[in-house]
Homo-oligomer: A and B are copies of this chain.
Amino acid sequence: TLPDTSLSPAEPKGKRPPVLVDGVTLNGPTLDIREAESFLRDAMPIIMEEAVRKATDVKEKVCEWRSPEQLKEVLDLELRDGGEANPKILQRCRDAIRYSVKTGHPRFFNQLYAGLDPYSLVGRFITEALNPSLYTYEVAPVFILTEEAVLKKMIEIIGWTEGGDGLFSPGGSVSNMYAVNVARYQRCPNVKELGLSAMPRLVMFTSEECHYSVAKAAAFLGIGTKNVYVIRSDKRGKMIPAEFEKQVQRGALPFMVNATAGTTILGAFDPLEEIADICERHSLWMHVDACWGGAALMSNQHRHLLKGIHRADSVAWNPHKMLLAGLQCCAFMVRGQTDILQRCHSANASYLFQQDKFYDISYDTGDKSIQCSRKPDAFKFWLMWKALGTKGLEERVDRALAMARYLAEEIKKREGFRLVMEPEYANVCFWYIPPSLRIDYDVAPVVKERMMKKGSMLVGYQPHGDKVNFFRQIIISPQVSREDMDFLLDEINTLGKDL
């Protein structure tokens, strides 16, 4: 039986004689936690005022542009032997915030994430303060269980009635890598031990509109980028199933397809049902990269965009994008009652995953991962979900997509603006053509430069296929209003009309 003594407090400083070891005096802690707290208390109002309140205020700038050379001078980046006093460090905090881009600002439309959710942010502050690593129940009990709860619900929403398994990864790119690894392990279980040099040439499929991480995964995992067979997409950016089936016949050893639900540029959804049919006919692993489009599953009105996703073998879905869970929050999930994640990735480290622990070690989920230390990225999402409810998340998605629809209609009404295509998701792609230019209208880079230097908003642009640079407006945040859509168009015209 365990002697039930109370916790012995540390001896007060100086009670025991100081010990000198290797020139270091060892009594007492050398970090005074009260001083540390006092610094935190001084820093928090700066963070709240500059990085939260002002950073989300539509009347403030989205960015305070400085060139790399100018910014280096302002920031004094060099690391020196001596330390700096707290007031100096607080000024550095202010400067870092000032010259950072405010991704929570209502007019930050530049990437596939935006906005600031207070519940998620509090979840992140908690995990940063507690600094847990998600490998064993013993050191991260709350975060192991919240990850499990979130995955269970996401799997239910995908529609996998047979259940599933999963984990959170540091980015959708890494999730797609997991998919490739699990798919090839399923096809050739001895690849884990023997490697690809002992295998026939494995071939995978994806559409030309897929995210670039699919190519990165093929390179990194040793498949080779040339063994990614690229399938043509239609004009809307969707994979053409007949082209897919043609490619499958091309020989070697086909093992998986990556279907995209929500492409990066156009926001297109591949036809999942037809892709699933082909996968069944040819025994291919079907992975759905729903990192961007997965949010539509939360909406009764829009989940039809992913019809057939319940037939996928694996899904990547990033709640840090449209659901505002904060970078990073990326789920990778596999269908069914399966231990494939464990079998495929485990290394059975005896110092971490001891088999003689006193609790149920199935909660030590770390060996499913390719990481050792892993951040508890599900917790912030869990806390936000608790606060908003599934309905609240659904409303956010519905509103973002309605806002995209509004913007598309406005673009049609305005002279000098032209839609690249009708949006079916939150990507609204359009050109702006200043009055003087009617033929050669590659103006997006110049308008972008002007908006950044002014700091009024941030919108992405890119060329695509045979199309010259167009803007890609992404609508996500619940802080965005219809007025911001009108502003966007007015502002582009203001910035570019003299071109």
Contacts and interface: CB of A to CB of B under 8 A. Distances in A.
Contact of A370 (B26, B129, B141, B173): B173
Nearest to A149: B77
Nearest to A22: B402
A144 B354 CA distance: 40
A247 interface: no
Given A37-B48, A89-B119, A104 B79 contact: no
A460 B135 CA distance: 14
Contacts of A390: 79-81
B43 A125 contact: yes
A137 B68 contact: yes
Number of copies: 2
Nearest to A452: B138
A153 to B, nearest CB: 5
A75 interface: yes
Interface stretch (A277-285, A307-315, A431-439, A479-487): A479-487
Contacts of A453: 2
Contact of A89 (B124, B211, B387): B387
Nearest to A450: B2
A455 B5 CA distance: 11
Given A21-B406, A129-B55, A71 B371 contact: no
A273 interface: no
A27 B199 CA distance: 58
A477 interface: yes
Contacts of A106: 10, 29
A301 interface: yes
A196 B399 CA distance: 47
A220 B103 contact: no
B482 A118 contact: no
A498 B5 CA distance: 14
A218 interface: yes
A100 B379 CA distance: 12
A352 B306 CA distance: 25
A163 interface: no
A33 B21 contact: no
Contact of A7 (B23, B61, B97): B61
Contacts of A373: 113, 171-173, 320, 327-328
Given A10-B58, A449-B358, A481 B216 contact: no
Nearest to A33: B56
A181 interface: yes
Nearest to A38: B118
A391 B5 CA distance: 41
A139 B9 contact: no
Interface string A422-437: 0000000000000000
Contact of A128 (B41, B68, B125, B396): B125
A141 B398 contact: no
A412 interface: no
Interface string A82-93: 111010110011
B201 A201 contact: no
A473 interface: no
Interface string A105-145: 01000110101111101101110111111000111111111
Contacts of A97: 126, 130
Nearest to A362: B68
Nearest to A451: B2
A327 B376 CA distance: 10
Contacts of A222: 191, 195-196, 221-223
B142 A75 contact: yes
Contacts of A115: 31
Contacts of A342: none
A183 to B, nearest CB: 13
Contacts of A121: 40, 128-129
Interface stretch (A224-232, A236-244, A332-340): A224-232
Given A171-B372, A370-B177, A122 B43 contact: yes
Of A21, A56, A344, chain B has the most CB atoms within 10 Å of the CB of A21
Nearest to A52: B129
Contacts of A370: 173-174, 177, 216, 220
A79 B382 contact: yes
A494 B141 CA distance: 26
Interface in A330-370: 344-345, 347-352, 354, 356-360, 363, 370
A171 B374 contact: yes
A192 interface: yes
A117 to B, nearest CB: 8
Contact of A24 (B24, B125, B399): B399
Of A10, A58, A131, A375, chain B has the most CB atoms within 10 Å of the CB of A131
